């Protein structure tokens, strides 16, 4: 009767993969609408939003558009490939 229970609620969002190991590494990120962006990971948060530096959008087999610094929302990411060894 005198004891209190602590209840923890976990939300679906905010508990994605550990992106810490990708900091400073080059990623190829596949986005919705069949878009692809590659760049160096400079930051991230718990919602899988990422910041890429020296980012380029891949628009064809050998065609790139330089973006510079890009912030990508986590909910638009389908998957990513690390272009460097971890």
- For the segment 63-75, what is each residue's pLDDT rounded down to a tens digit? 999 999 999 999 9
The separation between CA 30 and the C-alpha centre of its own chain, rounded to angstroms, equals 10
Which of the four pLDDT bands, split at 50, 70 and 90, describes residue 6? low
Instruction: Give the contacts of 60 (CB within 8 A, at least 6 positions apart).
Output: none
The domain defined by 20-82 carries CATH number 2.30.30.100: yes
- For the segment 12-65, what is each residue's pLDDT rounded down to a tens digit? 555 557 789 999 999 999 999 999 999 999 999 989 999 999 999 999 989 999
- For the chain, what is the mean pLDDT? 87
Instruction: Indicate the pTM of the whole model.
Output: 0.78
9 has pLDDT over 50: no
- pLDDT for the residue numbered 19: 85
Cα(84)–Cα(35) distance, rounded to whole angstroms? 21
Sequence spans of domains, the chain: 20-82
């Amino acid at each position: 009767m005198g004891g209190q229970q602590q209840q923890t609620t976990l939300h679906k969002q905010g508990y994605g993969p550990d992106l810490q190991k990708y900091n400073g590494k080059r990623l190829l990120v596949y986005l919705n609408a069949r878009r692809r962006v590659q760049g160096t990971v400079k930051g991230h948060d718990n919602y899988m939003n990422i910041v890429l530096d020296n980012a380029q959008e891949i628009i064809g087999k050998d065609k790139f558009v330089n973006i510079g610094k890009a912030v990508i929302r986590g909910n638009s990411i389908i998957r990513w490939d690390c272009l460097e060894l971890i």
